[in-house]
Amino acid sequence: MAAGPVERSFSVTQVPEMLYGAVVAGSVLAVASVHAPQGDRVVVVTAIVALVYWLAHVYVDAVGGRFTDREHSTGQRVVHALGENWAVLIGAAPPIVVLFLARALGADGETAAWIALWVTGGLLVAVGGLAAWRAGARGWSLVGEILVGGCFGLLVVALKYALH
């Protein structure tokens, strides 16, 4: 844990937490939209679960870190974890915002959920491809890494299909 002020600027080291947020929000959206076909509460439910997931992430970081960090109190570690783990919420935002916008633009709950899930899948593909490209993957190696993101995106979409 750094002794100085918490750095709140974006870093590529926060991308994994952003991806977690997107996958959690997409998965919750897939499940919640099955039981609320009009989508009235799906945005709220997805946002609440994303918030709870973020708080769990903060809790695990703060309390779990006490096993190796004896110099900082749990309170200090919670404050630090709040500043360090915000990327989970940022990652959860795209599926929620897309769902909200689709509903606001007149899509029914089911259509809005599908749009949000496919956008989430596209996000996972894009981030996976960008990460692979930045790491130097080219040709079939790049295609393979993009397909991994695509498969994970399809997994989130398949969750809704399976429950539908």
Instruction: Residue 139: give the domain boundaries.
Output: 12-163
Distance of CA 88 to the CA centre of its chain: 6
* Domain presence at residue 78: yes
32, part of any domain: yes
Would you state the pLDDT for residue 143?
95
Out of 20-24, 142-146, 159-163, which region has the weakest mean confidence (pLDDT)? 159-163
Q: Confirm whether 132 is domain-assigned.
A: yes
Q: Is residue 3 part of a domain?
A: no
Residue 146 within any structural domain of the chain: yes
pLDDT digits (tens, 9 = 90+) for 34-48: 876 666 688 989 999
